Amino acid sequence: MDINSCIRELKISNHTDSRGGLFSLEIDERYFSVLRVYYIKKVGLNEIRGSHAHKTLSQIFIPISGTFDLIISDGESWRNITIQDCNIAYALSAGFWRELRNFSEDAICLVLASDHYDENDYIRSYDEFQTWRKNEK
């Protein structure tokens, strides 16, 4: 899989009415089953989250509020997605480096993960990730 197809946009439905906001996302269980949920918020100015790759874990990033950048690499090229539209979630396949940067003060990112937390699934050094990618090909 290449850097252009590793991210899929998923439409979040907006059911907002006079009572307030309500948003939903249907997940196709043929492609993704949720075993873990976590969220990131109150990230300081210039702080970077992520900075790792997962060997097998797939994730869906759901912007709840605010703006932030999702930066992806395949070990050679980079892609920067500025997330400022709370009507789109981003499904990221395993095997790609990711960084989350430039969080606005009010940014909240909900993350759905396809597996339980496992430190052995992480690659936390970019050099190591590049070597891992070459061996995977």
Instruction: Tell me which residues touch ligand TYD (CB under 6 A).
Output: 36, 38, 40, 49-50, 117
**Of 120, 119, 109, 137, which Cα lies nearest the Cα of 39?**
109
Residue type, 130: Q
**Nearest distance from C-beta of residue 116 to ligand TYD, angstroms:** 8
**Nearest distance from C-beta of residue 14 to ligand TYD, angstroms:** 27
**Residue 52 catalytic?**
yes
For ligand TYD, the closer of residues 124 and 134 by Cβ is: 124
Please tell me which residue in 15, 52, 54, 116 is annotated as part of the active site.
52
**Of 69, 70, 73, which Cα lies nearest the Cα of 2?**
73
Q: How many CA atoms lie within 13 A of 1 on its CB side?
A: 12
**Nearest distance from C-beta of residue 100 to ligand TYD, angstroms:** 7
